[in-house]
A and B are shown apart, each in its own frame.
Chain A
Amino acid sequence: MDNTEAATGAAAGPVTAPTFEARGLWKHYGGVAAVRDVSIDFPAHTVTAIVGDNGAGKSTLIKMLCGAIQPDQGQLLINGEEVRFPTPAAARQAGIATVYQDLALADHRNVAENLFLGRELVHSFGPVKFLRRAEMRRDAIAALADLKIQVPDVRREARTLSGGQRQGVAIARAVHQGATILVMDEPMAALGLQEQGRVISLVERLADRGLTQLIVSHNLDHVFRLSTRIAVMRLGQLVAIRETAATDRSEILHLISGIDPAAPGEGASR
């Protein structure tokens, strides 16, 4: 029985993320510019890490990208066309899904139920919607297998899963519900090394597939392991974008702090 085709939502296999671009974004809070004139594009197949110190504007930028707040100025473009995201739901419609740090899973619901949270498969009898539970279970198994995410049983409650498995389920839910652009906040926080390895493999698999991924992280180790490019923010501005393979911690740290690497007395950091 081939469940892969039967799975509703995102098809298994390659997707093409739309081109996603931000141009000239500004956001003020009171008299302070939290984000100043930020322009950045997010191509398919890339994993962009957005780094910066506290107050650099990372989370404000991210919130504008996924519809949680509105920019004061500037544009967002999907496939070259300007879009507006008045709500996170609108961003979701465009294929942008955010996987939050708290994972937004219901602990006492099982994996299949979490995968279909808010989008349950039902038989309708007028106003009454009966759950298609067996089908959701099958689809969940297929969706997880497709992304090579291992959970012991889709009937297990989410709270019995490890941090990495929960992360996997949260990501699988976003992908299964049609996301092509994934925004992840500290995806490897509180994960042991082995589990981090699984998340890294998953991110690579998704990138291969053609998804676009954005990662916000304070942890440069994670950033260097996960990302293909690094966008550095400082004081609300985008100060640099580097290909991860072409840079190192030292350069990124200097960009984050704004301290000139050539200045005497600055110890070379590893």
Chain B
Amino acid sequence: MSAGPAASDKSVRRAKITEFFAREGFIVIFLLWAVYLAIATDTFLTESNVLILLRQAAIFAIIGIGTTMVAILGELDISFGAVLALAGCLAAARIVDGAHPLVGLAIAIAVGAAIGLANGLLVNHLRIPSVVATLGMMGVVEGLAMMYTGGSSIFGDGLERLSFVARGEIIGVPTLVVIAFAMYVVAWMVTTRTRFGAHLYATGDNTEAAYRAGIPVQRLRLAVFVLAGALAGLGGLLQVARVGRAQATMGADALFPVLTAVILGGVSISGGRGRIVNTLIASVFLASITNGLILLGVATEVQRVVQGAVLVVAVSLDRLRK
């Protein structure tokens, strides 16, 4: 089996290094990129720029928690952008009409959870592959959002009451960032320290084994999709808070960054592996890519090319991880 201790040690070490790079290599690249930007531009490391970057990353990172959990389960949910839009529009309309922001929050989360439930039921009972089910749901939800808004933006003074979320600070740190950070702490604890997390990873790793061991796979899947939907709904409200209005199309820009962050962060789409915190780091990294390209004066078309390229690289890295 082994060709002697020396040979196997070296190959084990090499395998470990490759694995480390495939998994956490993006952090190294992130650091290099940050250093480069700090040198090449005099605006990257300024407080105001860093704050803009973090705020932008925060919303995608929060949505990313749900998408990451779905991926750990071995599924894929690409409807979060559409959910963000519909939930955001519905909540914004209520708030503009005079409802309290907390009511708006409840609506956004409820709408998201309901769509998540639909996704989960489709996958569980119709046995449609989740990427297809959520793709279809994405179309439906986007269409609903467009029907609801009639193509126009929802805005009004009522939305000013949300601005504290977007522009406020808690002991010097932007509120959005605090929220994101707090949610990641909870997500980390849930995935690594609770039975739910253990079942999540086990089911993603070997669904058959988990089922035979008595883990309620269907219920778990439903719960995760509902959670992902709820988080996307929350993201919708936060986005409305950030930009001050809601549009049916406002979810489209979320698709790339969230998916890329999840994959780049090392959560394999085949399931059962990955750390939630990596999605947070990857989200900040991705935000810094767009941010840096803008600061470097790169044209928007080229930015799109770069974003696409990063996704391709992320998926390739995922393959390397076996």
Contacts and interface: CB of A to CB of B under 8 A. Distances in A.
A106 B1 CA distance: 23
Interface in A193-251: none
Contacts of A258: none
A208 B175 CA distance: 65
Interface stretch (B38-46, B50-58, B83-91, B198-206): B198-206
Interface of B: 1, 193-199, 201-202, 205-206, 208-210, 212-215, 272-273
Nearest to B190: A128
A119 B210 contact: no
Interface stretch (A13-21, A34-42, A107-115): A107-115
Q: Which 5 A-B pairs have the closest CB atoms?
A: A118-B213, A106-B205, A129-B195, A104-B209, A118-B214
Interface string A121-145: 0100000111101000000000000
Contacts of A113: 198, 202
25 contacts: A89-B214, A100-B212, A102-B209, A103-B209, A104-B208, A104-B209, A104-B213, A106-B202, A106-B205, A107-B272, A108-B201, A108-B273, A109-B201, A109-B202, A109-B205, A113-B202, A117-B210, A118-B213, A118-B215, A119-B213, A120-B198, A122-B194, A130-B194, A133-B193, A162-B1
B214 A107 contact: no
B272 A131 contact: no
A120 B195 contact: yes
A88 interface: yes
A93 to B, nearest CB: 11
Nearest to A113: B198
Interface residues of A, number: 25
Contacts of A122: 194-195
Q: Is the interface of B mostly helix, strand, loop or mixed?
A: helix
B1 A192 contact: yes
Tell me which of B197, B209, B212 has the highest count of chain A C-beta atoms within 10 A of its own C-beta: B209
A154 interface: no
A92 B1 CA distance: 36
A105 interface: yes
B194 A106 contact: no
A106 B206 contact: yes
B194 A128 contact: yes
B213 A117 contact: yes
B20 to A, nearest CB: 15
A105 B214 CA distance: 13
Contacts of A118: 199, 202, 210, 213-215
Contacts of A133: 193
Nearest to B271: A108
Nearest to B274: A108
A119 B215 CA distance: 9
A119 B194 contact: no
